[in-house]
Amino acid sequence: MNSLPLIAFVHMSPKDFSHWVTSLWLLGVGVGLGLAIVLVVWAVLRVVAPALALRCSQAVTGPILTPISIVMGIWVIVALLGTFVVREPTEILNSLARMSSTGEDIYTVTIPKLSGNVNEQTGNLPAIRIQEIDEIDTNELKRFTIQSSGRFELVAREVGTDEDLATYSIQGGELFEWTRSSKHTLMRKLPSNKQVEFYARNDAFDKIKNVSLEIKNVSIVVTTEPAYIEAKSIFYTMMIVAAIYLFYFLMAMLLPKVMAIAEATATSEMSQLLFLICATIGCLYMVAAVYIPYHTFGEDIKVLKHTGLQVMMMLGLIVAIWASSTSIADEIEGKTALTLLSKPISRRQFIFGKYIGIAWTVAVLFIIVTVMFLPAVASKPVFDQREGTTAEYEPTGEKGISWQLLHDETVGIVPGVFLVFMETIVLASLSVAISTRMPMVANFMVTFGVYALAHLTPSLLQASSGGFEPVKFVAMLLAIILPPLKDYEVYAAVSAGTELPVIYLPGAALSAILYSAIAMLLALILFEDRDLT
């Protein structure tokens, strides 16, 4: 393969390297825009409320946002440098601007009676412009459907010309549907990169009366999307980055004492050797996973995504349990907690601060590992190509890997990372509650026991349905008490590229918050009368 000599992480041809960079460049642009939003909010606060702006500045340089900002800075550098490698960066950004101008439009039109003579050169009936439908860029045309009571021909013409680019025969009483066969490849002869207008040839004719018929109430639904729909990931990334910073700022301003404990906890745990080992193992695994042959007949990418999410979950769970034990159980045994509680800090603030600090520590771990996970996923299809697995390069029809394919595979794992994080913080909240009474070894045993039982409960429910009543009762009791961890582990769906319902992620987040709140209530009950002396 014609390789770029200075690329150490992946050895790709110049074309594949350009596609690989493009698939990640969109995320870098989104990160940059998200940081710009944060900067604007900070500037407004500096004018309106200087004290709050100072607290936000301190948070950015604190132990939690500092490593996150470093990772975000890496993505911004990727965006800046990648601009020189990406093909058509301006067109991609223009697609982002076109997001609000595209969508679904519904028209109800009337096709007038035939008027005029047959064109002697083409033999076609005269075509009448459908005024209700505006000019459309064929690159943005995704689908149109037509429901008509009479027969006519729909004609697409380039703006300013009389030449028919494509003609579609609409049968009366039948639903007609045209769609893209795939991204950037249009079917039925409609060419790309054209501004078109639509015309109608009414050939509905009453043979008995020997007159042309007017066709009323023709329903036309036109769906458009930007030429590079992948640009929407810029917007989503921007919102995620801005939400991370703004959520942290909000917590720092509303809960100063709790966040002070959280930052101290995060500082302590992220300086631990275990955290550094887990972060290193996670990053190295993501790099090695690109080269591992899975022998799955072209589906190695699915195995990489599946195992990558599982590795992140296990590493996050180990860090969470270790952190809860060292920051709560060990501090209680070592009388450090007593010293801290002698200050104007309540036991409630102590527990909440510890849990929030652990949750942010896990978040930092996930963000660090994800910065290697995403490029690894984008790289795997290129390496699969070496084994004879190829994809159709959609814009031009040549064989190879398109950047759209790499980008879709990459952003497809983001919901999986979010769900794994939700699962981890639910188990972390349980670990915090256990740490108020038990040492580290017992904490590991109980938490992993709950993890195993929660995964066995659905099978136990299914097996006990209609069976022995006591067994059925125990299964239902476990299903009520234990968190629904299987709802967070949608590895198969994420690995296969299945799009999750819009409501699924908010529902999972709400469920995680609910169970974490219950675990925190349990932690407060257990810690309230704990003798610290």
Q: Which of 526, 318, 359 is nearest to 438 (CA)?
A: 526
CA distances from 285 to 204, 282, 306, 385, 412 (A): 66, 5, 13, 21, 19
Could you read off the pLDDT of 113-153 as tens digits, one per residue? 766 555 544 446 678 888 888 888 888 888 889 998 888 88
Three-class SS state of 95: helix
pLDDT band for position 386 (cuts 50, 70, 90) = low
Q: Which two tokens stand for residue 463?
A: 């097996």
421, 313 in Cβ contact below 8 A?
no
Average pLDDT estimate for 338-352: 80
Whether residue 368 contacts residue 279, with contact meaning beta carbons closer than 8 Å, is answered with yes
Helices (H), 325-439: 330-333, 336-341, 347-386, 403-411, 414-435
CA-to-CA distance for 309 and 414, rounded, in angstroms?
10
Burial letters 276-308, b for 16+ CB under 10 A, else e? eebbeebbebbeebbeeebeeeeebbbbbbbbb
Q: pLDDT (tens digit, 9 = 90+) per residue, 173-205?
A: 888 888 865 443 334 467 778 889 998 887 765
| Amino acid in position 210 | N
- Candidate from 2-6, 22-26, 241-245, 323-327 with smallest mean pLDDT: 2-6
pLDDT at 331: 76
Q: What is the pLDDT of residue 248?
A: 94
Q: Using 50, 70 and 90 to split pLDDT, how confident is the model at 75?
A: very high
Give the distance, in angstroms, between the CA of residue 105 and the centroid of all CA atoms in the same chain.
27
Give the lowest-confidence range in 154-168, 414-428, 463-477, 494-508. Answer: 463-477
Residue 221 has pLDDT above 50, yes or no: yes
Place of tokens 């380039």: 158
Q: Tell me the whole-structure pTM to 2 decimals.
A: 0.84
- The whole-chain average pLDDT of the chain stands at 82
Cα 481 → chain centroid: 30
User: Comparing C-alpha atoms, which of 203, 210, 207, 126 is closest to residue 172?
Assistant: 203
pLDDT value at 72 more than 90: yes
What's the average model confidence in pLDDT over 294-307? Answer: 78
Do residues 406 and 20 make contact, with C-beta atoms less than 8 angstroms apart? yes
* Residue 239 pLDDT grade (very low, low, confident, very high; cuts 50, 70, 90): very high
Q: 455: which residues sit within 8 A by CB, 6+ positions away?
A: 485, 486, 489
Model pLDDT, residue 388: 57
pLDDT bin (cut points 50, 70, 90) of residue 488 is confident
Which residues on neighbouring strands pair with residue 166, listed in sequence order?
A: 156
- pLDDT score of 3 more than 70: no
Tokens of 428: 């972390």
The pLDDT of residue 189 is 62
The number of residues making up the chain comes to 533
pLDDT digits (tens, 9 = 90+) for 270-291: 999 999 999 999 999 998 888 8
d(CA 195, CA 191) in angstroms, rounded, equals 10
What's the mean pLDDT in 1-21?
Answer: 60
Other beta carbons within 10 Å of 260: 16
How many C-alpha atoms does 47 have within 13 Å on its Cβ side? Answer: 5
Average pLDDT on 411-422 reads: 91
